[in-house]
């Protein structure tokens, strides 16, 4: 069996599956139950000055029969006294010494505030800190969370202040509510961060009740934006992880977060540069025991790939992620329809005819039966037909042999620029 243990910036964990800082890590009782179920680590629900939460805090977006495709949350950081949290962290770490316990921390952007809370947490045995610069609601209105996390200078300063007081690794949790997450990631590097985690939740409004006209959720008839997470945000999170992982100025381990619901999702994040992953919505939807399937699935996958350790797959796909200008303009794929499998729903024809490149013909054979055929000379390989097709194996995307050598947009522009320069020189 492959070794599932990880080492993220010096923080050791028996496996890469951590619970994210959120309602599932609100107490020692919950974290201990999670460790008993098999989770490798937990980021404790954010510590700071205890706040008052509202009633009616969560909402979900369901889509096409899937419940909780997206999850919305207006809950804030811990509403429990710091002394109680610290006591439970100490007891949990004593009972589970080999599991990673990370203290999520959020205070006002003042040096003395960071020093004070870090020093109070130091003695309870945490394995590291996660600075919460991502929470988009409630705390942001008080100058914390995403309000700090959107300002590179504040990210750098607060990271530095935390590092001044901390004897354990410091992870900086980044907000996705920003134009370019690599800017704040680089600020975390300058501040001395040992690792980064991403993404925190995305600004959102889950919905509006069209009968009562109230927002979903609402608190006594009034609503507010909240944090969006769950399977729907996974592509956004994966892109942001990839952008940081391929940036040479961000040479830090990454804890990947965002819509991870099963072991396959976790593998995608690991391949794209995450050393470990954090999970919240899936645990809230299905309970802590989902980690059993994740552990089994990841272990079997690594064995099938001949990998001795989960760390061996970290970042394997990063070199394959680039900019559009580096893609081969001469690469060619086309769609081919397998009429033995096709169920004649015509969804591919409709999609192609109405919204793509009108290259699927409706024909009849000698017996008068209808069938579909792709005019490959007109197919641009957009994949739309295969995406909308409900029958597995009915449409394949086939790579064609191209006599032309690979050529990217950047190479083409450089070549054309060279020709123009030669023309100018020749004219002289």
- Dist CA 52 CA 64 (whole Å): 36
Q: Could you give the CA distance from residue 144 to residue 96 in angstroms, rounded to a whole number?
A: 32
Task: Name, in order, each residue with C-beta under 8 angstroms of 281's C-beta and a sequence gap of 6 or more.
Answer: 68, 71, 229, 230, 231, 259, 261
By the 10 Å C-beta count (0-12 exposed, 13-18 middle, 19+ buried), 282 is classed as buried
Pair of tokens at residue 241: 């992880």
Three-state DSSP string of 241-310: HHHHHCCCCCCCCEEEECCCCCHHHHHHHHHCCEEEEEECHHHHHHCCCHHHHHHHHHHHHHHHCCCCEH
Please report which helix (H) or strand (E) contains residue 409, including its range: helix 409-427
> Is 244 among the catalytic positions?
no
Among 135, 352, 385, 389, the active-site one is 135
With tokens 């080999």, the residue in question is: 98
- Contacts of 93-99 with C-beta under 8 Å, sequence gap 24+, read 93/124, 93/125, 93/126, 94/125, 95/32, 96/32, 96/35, 98/12, 98/14, 99/13, 99/14, 99/35, 99/39, 99/40, 99/41, 99/42
Phi and psi (nearest 5°) for 33? -60, -40
Nearest to 282 by CA among 231, 234, 240: 231
Cα–Cα distance measured from residue 130 to residue 193, given in angstroms and rounded to the nearest whole number:
10
Q: Which residues are catalytic, by number?
A: 135
């Amino acid at each position: 069996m492959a070794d599932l243990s990880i080492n993220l910036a010096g923080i050791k964990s028996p496996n890469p599956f951590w619970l994210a800082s959120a309602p599932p890590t609100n107490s020692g009782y919950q974290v201990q139950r999670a460790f008993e179920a098999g989770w490798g680590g937990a980021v404790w629900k954010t510590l700071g000055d205890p706040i008052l939460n509202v009633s009616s805090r969560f909402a979900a977006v369901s889509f096409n029969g899937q419940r909780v495709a997206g999850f919305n949350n207006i809950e804030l950081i811990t509403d429990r006294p710091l002394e109680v949290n610290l006591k439970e962290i100490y007891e949990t770490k004593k009972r589970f010494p080999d599991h990673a316990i990370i203290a999520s921390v959020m205070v006002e952007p003042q040096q003395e505030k960071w020093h004070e809370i870090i020093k109070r947490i130091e003695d309870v045995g945490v394995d590291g800190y996660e600075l919460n610069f991502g929470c988009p609601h409630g705390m942001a209105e008080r100058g914390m969370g995403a309000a700090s996390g959107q300002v590179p200078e504040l990210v750098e300063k607060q990271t530095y202040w935390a590092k001044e007081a901390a004897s354990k690794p410091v992870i900086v949790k980044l907000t996705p509510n920003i134009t370019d997450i690599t800017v704040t990631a680089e600020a975390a590097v300058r501040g001395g961060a040992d690792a980064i985690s991403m993404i925190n939740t995305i600004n959102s409004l889950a919905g509006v009740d069209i009968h009562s006209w109230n927002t979903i959720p609402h608190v006594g008839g009034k609503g507010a934006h909240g944090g969006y997470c769950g399977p729907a945000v996974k592509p956004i999170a994966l892109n942001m992880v990839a952008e940081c992982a391929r940036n040479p100025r961000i040479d830090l381990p990454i804890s990947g977060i965002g819509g991870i619901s099963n072991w396959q999702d976790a593998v995608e994040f690991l391949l794209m540069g995450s050393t470990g992953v954090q999970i919240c919505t899936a645990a809230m939807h299905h309970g802590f025991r989902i980690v059993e399937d994740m552990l089994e699935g990841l272990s079997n996958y690594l064995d099938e790939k001949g990998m001795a350790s989960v760390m061996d797959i970290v970042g394997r796909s990063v070199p394959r992620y680039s900019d559009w200008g580096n893609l081969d303009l001469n690469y060619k794929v086309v769609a081919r329809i397998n009429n033995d499998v096709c169920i004649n729903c015509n969804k591919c024809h409709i999609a192609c005819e109405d919204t793509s490149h009108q290259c699927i013909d409706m024909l009849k054979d000698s017996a008068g039966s209808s069938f579909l055929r792709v005019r490959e000379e007109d197919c641009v390989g957009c994949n739309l037909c295969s995406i909308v097709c409900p029958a597995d194996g009915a449409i394949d995307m086939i790579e064609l042999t191209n006599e032309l050598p690979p050529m990217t947009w950047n190479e083409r522009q450089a070549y054309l620029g060279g020709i123009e320069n030669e023309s100018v020189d020749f004219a002289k």
